[in-house]
Amino acid sequence: PRITYHQPQGSQQTIELDEPAPLMQTALRNGVPGIVGECGGQAMCATCHVYVREDYLDQLPEKSEDEEEMLEEVASPFDERRSRLGCQITIGEDLEEIEVDVPESQV
C-alpha cells in the first residue's frame, strides 16, 4: 500500500505502508504537514480533510453519514467529489494506492 500527499505549495511525499492504515494516522506518524486529526479519527473534527485525486475516486468507499456531516464543517473549500475525511479511508484495505491533495487550512 502507498499514499502520496501533495502539498498546496507543490511538494509531495510518498509513504509506503507495511500494513493497512488510515490516511490521517499515516500522515501524523510520518510528519506530513497540513493534516491535524484533532479528534483522533472519530469523524468528529474535520481537521483531516483531504482532496482525493481524480484517478482514485471510483475506488473509494461510500461516505458514512458521520463523514458527510463533518465534511460540512471543513475549513477549506468543500469539493463534492474530492473532499473526504482522511481518518475514514484505510489504504491497504479500501484501496491499495491513493494520491491526495492537502488543503490550505484545516482550522
Between CA 86 and CA 94 the distance in angstroms is 12
Residues 32-71 that bind ligand FES (CB under 6 A): 37-39, 41-48, 70
Burial bucket for residue 24 (CB in 10 Å: 0-12, 13-18, 19+):
buried
Between CA 32 and CA 30 the distance in angstroms is 6
Q: Which is nearer to ligand FES, 86 or 103 (CB)?
A: 86
Binding mask 7-36 for ligand FES (x = CB under 6 A): -----------------x------------
Point out which residues bind ligand FES (CB under 6 A): 24, 37-39, 41-48, 70, 85-87
